[in-house]
Amino acid sequence: MTGVTTTFTIWKQRFLRSLSRDDGQGLRNLQVEDYPQGYPRFSRLVASHSAFYVCRRFSALRARLLLLKQDKLSSLEKQLEMVDQQETNPLFLASSRRDRNPERESILSNIDTALADYDSLVERNRQILALESAKNRDISSLKHWIDGNACITREETAYLLQPKDLLSTAPLSDDAVAQVEAWLEDRVIQCWKDFRELPFRNVSRDPNVYISSGSGLRRATRFLIALLLVILLFIPIVICSAQDSMTARMAVVAIAASLFIGIVSIIIKAKSIEIFMAGATYATILVVFVAGTSPSRNS
């Protein structure tokens, strides 16, 4: 019994140490409240967690500029076509080296400059539009903190009131892990009142602020996901083993496969073909098991 207690104590200490590990941002021992009110404090809060790096995409402005630059190029294109049609010397059109039309040369130079500007904007837009949209959970967290710490003017925090135009610059994470981790974090905070008092909670002294900077919750999340996958795989097998009827077994396989595909579609951001392949693989495993076992208990 003493050995079990000792093992549990060691495991608990390791778990708490894992929670208190720095997340690579160099902010382990910093307190948000140690900085002056205003942008110093708000910036420190944003820097405390990568999910808080939320900013506007300015989609409407980008579209406006793109349309204007596109129209400018269209106008230059028409000017070039008109100059070509009005050209009186066919040799100028047959050889660029012998072309002595200054108007065409000027238009081509303007087109080159406008195209470079247009291509640059298209590439910048592609990069920005490829970034993930900010999660409502992170936007709400920032808004709640601002409501409780009136240190930034409303005009300069109004960007949070446009959630559809907000993006997150944080690196892409496993969507399934992120969703389950958020759910687990909420449940732990609600059910374990002393959770906020653990030593890893060192980003803020505000009792209403909780920012997880460790990997303990992430490990627990991965464990729960692995446990769910094991259950989804073995529970249908156990049920099929208890069934004599092949029809009942196939019904169990169909229900389990549908449930698996539904869960994968909800918690994992995957392409349709990836979901199809995952569902087909899962169903194949169950069908192989059913086909490899006798439907009769007496056999």
Domain ranges of the chain: 59-130, 221-293
Dihedral in degrees, nearest 10, Cα atoms 85, 89, 93, 95:
-170
SS (H, E, C) the chain: CHHHHHHHHHHHHHHHHHHCCCCCCCCCCCCHHHCCCCHHHHHHHHHCCHHHCEEECCHHHHHHHHHHHHHHHHHHHHHHHHHHHCCCCHHHHHCCCCCCCHHHHHHHHHHHHHHHHHHHHHHHHHHHHCCCECCHHHHHHHHHHHHHCCCCCHHHHHHHHCHHHEEECCCCCCHHHHHHHHHHHHHHHHHCHHHHHCCCCCCCCCCCCCCCCCCHHHHHHHHHHHHHHHHHHHHHHHHHHCCCCHHHHHHHHHHHHHHHHHHHHHHCCCCHHHHHHHHHHHHHHHHHHHHHCCCCCCC
pLDDT in tens, the chain (299 residues): 555 556 556 555 555 555 444 444 444 566 788 888 999 999 988 988 888 999 999 999 999 999 999 999 999 999 999 988 888 788 777 777 887 888 888 999 999 999 999 999 999 999 999 998 998 888 988 998 888 888 899 999 999 999 999 999 987 665 666 666 666 666 666 666 665 555 555 577 776 666 665 566 677 777 777 887 788 778 888 888 777 788 888 888 888 888 888 877 777 766 778 778 888 888 888 877 777 665 554 44
Contact 214, 19 (CB under 8 A): yes
Among the listed residues 244, 239, 241, 275, the one whose alpha carbon sits nearest the alpha carbon of residue 256: 239
Q: How far is CA 189 from CA 9, 74, 176, 185, 186, in A?
A: 22, 58, 20, 6, 5
Number of CB atoms found within 10 A of residue 115's CB: 13
Instruction: Confirm if 57 and 167 have CB atoms less than 8 A apart.
Output: yes
Best CA proximity match to 181, nearest among 229, 139, 219: 219
Rounded Cα distance between 106 and 80, Å, is 10
Q: In this structure, which amino acid lies at residue 87?
A: E
The answer to whether residues 213 and 204 touch, using CB atoms and an 8 Å cutoff, is no
Q: What whole-number distance in Å separates Cα of residue 47 and Cα of residue 35?
A: 13
HSE (side-chain half, CA atoms, 13 Å) at 211: 28
8 Å CB contact between 168 and 46: no
Kindly list the distances between the CA atom of residue 21 and the CA atoms of 27, 165, 217, in Å, as whole numbers in the listed order. 10, 33, 12
CA-CA distance, 21 to 159, in Å (whole number)?
Answer: 32
Cα angle: 204, vertex 210, 215; to 5 degrees: 105
Tokens of 104: 């065409």
pTM, to two decimals: 0.65
The C-alpha atoms of residue 211 and residue 72 are separated, in whole angstroms, by 49
With beta carbons less than 8 A apart as the criterion, state whether 163 and 134 touch.
yes
